[in-house]
Amino acid sequence: MKKILVFFNILCIPFSFLSAQISDSEVLLTISDEPVLASEFLRVYNKNLNLVQDDSQKNVDSYLKLFINYKLKLAEARSLGYDKDPVYIKELRSYKNQLTQNYLTDKNVTEELVLEAYDRTINEVKAQHILVRIEEFESDTLQAYSKIQAFRSRLINEDFDSIKKEIHDGKSVFVEDLGFFTAFKMVYNFETTAFTTNVGGVSDPFRTKFGFHVVKVLEKRKSKGQVSVAHIMIANTQKDTTIVAKDRIQELHRLLLQGENFGSLAKQFSDDKSSSKRNGELKPFKSGQINSVVFENTAFSLTEKGAISEPIQTQFGWHILQLIDRQAVGEFEALKGDLENKVRKDSRSQLVKAKMLDKLLTQYELTGLNPNLAIIQANVIRNTTDDTWSFSAIINESNPIFSIQNTTYSFGDFLSFLNKNKKSINKNWTTEFIVNKQYKLFLEQSVFQYKKDNLETENQEFANILNEYREGLLLFELMQDKIWEGAKNDTIGLNVFYNSNKENYLWPDRIIGSVARSSNAKTIKKVRKLWSKGKSNQEIDDLLNNRQQNVIFSSGEFELGQSPLPDSFTVSTKSPLSKVIEENNNFYVVNSKELKPKSQKTMEEAKGQLISDYQLQLETQWVLELKSKFEIKVNENVLQKVNNIISK
């Protein structure tokens, strides 16, 4: 987008505002018979009105001249084939794809999910669950559902550990204590059920891609944030039979209390080799990310950086922890960008997509249900030898399966989609499940692709923004080649231009010295007196600013009339010290060491301004050439209507 900012910054306004006053088809002007609509000019004029610094250019006729110059350059870019350049086409395509995404999501749903995710980031829930595994494609769920219903009753009325010991097998039934967790740690519908179930309550059975669950919520609390710790671990099992883990950890703890370095002891003695080489440091973690409640609780109980815990025991061995850092959960604005990114990558994104799909299906008068699915299910054939799909002879592949506006999608199109995506199909899935699942994907992909392909004709705002970039990119490349780089590299032309315009490249009157500024007249008088006695800026600063800032010094080379010199300052030939000058409730004194009168800048010293001026001359000459090359016709009647609209 940076490229667009260097030329006409064309922005869009609601198109309905324009169409109510001037028709979409009214042509304001033509350039070599290519029409330019009045509605486009009005849109550009209104949005750039506040950006134009020169009031004279706000006059419609003056602005029209700028607009015509802009359109002439675009006509030249196209005549030279810049719009056919593969690099240009690639960059435009990339930008279009990026811009399109903003018009294919439901922003309201996204914002709601981001706010919800933040609430579930600053809060934690502690839960247990029972899962009855069932494959995603299974449609006969009665047995599994009946089983989870029975387990729910037991979870309400019986001891959790007893239930786990009896029914958990790690294959078809899972009974797990999940500890505390926050947003994005579980699949979304599981997370939502846990956060919306009351403490002490057990949810109704619900299904995820893993099977049927019930969740019991034990506790809810504010998030503890994130903690970073280092640890020394002595494993429960030792190769050296003379080492007793508990005794060794107590020995190390005594050494730490005596002042020994934690990192050195971790490197030498810790059995966690993955962290010992980093002085025992572990990656930062939040609640629920460590597979040990006692380890997590100990880490979060440390409050001061460098604090060392008492020895603790986990299922892995004995540990001593040292606090490196603790961070509370950030404010919403600080986390918003990260949360938006997580929502896009999480299963939540499917909710956003589903909402948008519903809107598009309504717009295109489609439905997710299709009577042709039963025909497909009955007549699709899977060749297991080469894993391909085909239709029986009863199906005419050219027949339509559905239509979006004037675009028809056939049975053959769906079959191609089926074969293209066969790697995503599980061999255990039933044909009915495969056809239903793949059809949903085919419909979704087709609808979104149609929207992408037709967005420029369906959405005027999108069309305007894309056209800004399309034209802006063309103009940037042309100006880069024709004017900007051309002027820099034209050493002969620059020399001629410099010698013809030397009077424009002069050093103004300057002084070399110091300026003192204070809001107190007595202070500035003290500065003047001390300067007159030969005291340096540093000596005066030490004397007058020792308790508070009473005076500020600026030293160097300064142009007369430019900050930090006061506006009314004039150089005195009698004394290097000026009188005390009062301006805008501040007081100044100037200590002039040297006066540098107006002088000629060398070409090198004037280079920046010189190139800019030369570019302007080249561009002015070039525009005159373009006006001779391209015929311009302005429709005076339409221009009058434009004037009338703007003057209201």
Q: Give residue-wise pLDDT tens across range 166-197.
A: 999 999 999 999 989 999 999 999 999 999 99
Residue 244 sits in the same domain as residue 212: no
Q: Alpha-carbon distance 514 to 554, whole Å?
A: 6
Residue 21: the pLDDT is: 66
Q: How many CB atoms lie within 10 A of CB 102?
A: 10
The residues that bridge with 514 in the sheet, in sequence order, are: 555, 591
Domain's final residue, options 222, 241, 269:
222
Asked whether residue 94 is domain-assigned, the answer is no
Asked whether residue 429 is assigned to any structural domain, the reply reads yes
The phi and psi torsions of 587 (rounded to 5 degrees) equal: -125, 140
List the strands of the sheet with 123-133, edge to edge. Answer: 173-181, 123-133, 211-222, 206-208
Domain holding 312, by residue range, is 226-327
> pLDDT value at position 93?
94
The pLDDT of residue 414? 96
Q: Roughly what angle, to the nearest 10 degrees, separates helices 86-101 and 460-479?
A: 150
Note whether 539 and 585 are same-domain residues. yes
pLDDT in tens, 32-61: 999 999 999 998 888 877 555 555 556 888
Residues 235 and 321 reside in one and the same domain: yes
* Rounded to 5°, angle at Cα 496 from 491 and 499: 120
CA atoms within 13 A on the CB side of 513: 22
Q: Does residue 475 fall inside a structural domain?
A: no
Last residue of a domain, one of 425, 440, 457: 457
8 pLDDT more than 80? no
- Same domain, yes or no: 310 and 378: no
Say whether both 246 and 211 belong to one domain.
Answer: no
How many domains are contained in the chain?
Answer: 4
3: pLDDT strictly greater than 70? no
Per-chain mean pLDDT for the chain: 90
List the one residue out of 610, 613, 617, 571 whose CA is nearest residue 590.
Answer: 571
564: preceding bond cis by omega (within 30 degrees) = yes
Q: Which of 5-19, 242-256, 408-422 shows the lowest per-residue confidence on average (mean pLDDT)?
A: 5-19
Tens digits of per-residue pLDDT, 296-355?
Answer: 999 999 999 999 999 999 999 999 999 999 999 999 999 999 999 999 899 898 899 999
The answer as to whether 321 is a domain residue is: yes
To 5 degrees, how large is the angle CA 249–CA 253–CA 255? Answer: 120
Predicted pLDDT at 647: 78
Give the number of other Cβ atoms within 10 Å of residue 236's Cβ: 14
Domain boundary among the residues 206, 222, 238 is at 222
What average pLDDT score do residues 140-155 get?
94
pLDDT in tens, 63-112: 899 999 999 999 999 999 999 999 999 999 999 999 998 898 888 899 99
State the pLDDT confidence band at 126, using cuts at 50, 70 and 90. very high
What's the token pair of residue 263? 């990192």
Q: In the beta sheet, which residues pair with residue 516?
A: 553, 589
Residues 269 and 234 in one domain: yes
Q: Is residue 335 part of a domain?
A: no
233 and 203, same domain (yes or no)? no
Task: Note whether 415 and 442 are same-domain residues.
Answer: yes
Which CATH number does the domain housing residue 214 bear? Answer: 3.10.50.40
Q: What is the mean pLDDT of residues 615-623?
A: 93
- 164: tokens are 């786990």
Taking the C-alpha atoms of residue 194 and residue 201, their distance in angstroms, rounded to an integer, is: 10
> Concatenated DSSP letters for 503-566?
GGSEE--EEEEEEEEES-HHHHHHHHHHHHTT--HHHHHHHHSSSS---EEEEEEEETTSTTS-
* Tokens found for residue 637: 């009647």
Measure the CA–CA gap between 459 and 104, rounded to whole angstroms: 12
Residues of the chain above pLDDT 90, percent = 74
Helices (H), 460-515: 460-479, 485-489, 491-500
Average pLDDT over residues 19-24: 64
Q: Is residue 2 part of a domain?
A: no
Percentage of the chain with pLDDT > 70? Answer: 95
Q: Are residues 158 and 175 in the same domain?
A: yes
Q: Is 213 domain-assigned?
A: yes
Q: Can you give the pLDDT at residue 227?
A: 95
The answer on 319 and 238 residing in a single domain is yes
Considering the domain boundaries, does residue 56 fall inside one?
Answer: no
- The arithmetic mean of pLDDT across residues 246-273, rounded, is 94
Q: Are 549 and 513 members of one domain?
A: yes
Task: Give the end-to-end CA distance of the chain in Å, rounded to a whole number.
Answer: 34
Contact 473, 480 (CB under 8 A): no
User: Which residues have CB under 8 Å from 264's CB, separation 6+?
Assistant: 279
- pLDDT class of 16 with cuts at 50, 70, 90: very low
For residues 534 and 589, membership in a common domain is answered with yes
Three-state secondary structure string covering 16-80: HHHHCCCCCCCEEEEECCEEEEHHHHHHHHHHHCCCCCCHHHHCHHHHHHHHHHHHHHHHHHHHC
Which helix (H) or strand (E) segment holds residue 383: the answer is strand 380-383
Which tokens go with 21?
A: 């006053």
Burial of 396 (0-12, 13-18, 19+ CB in 10 A): exposed
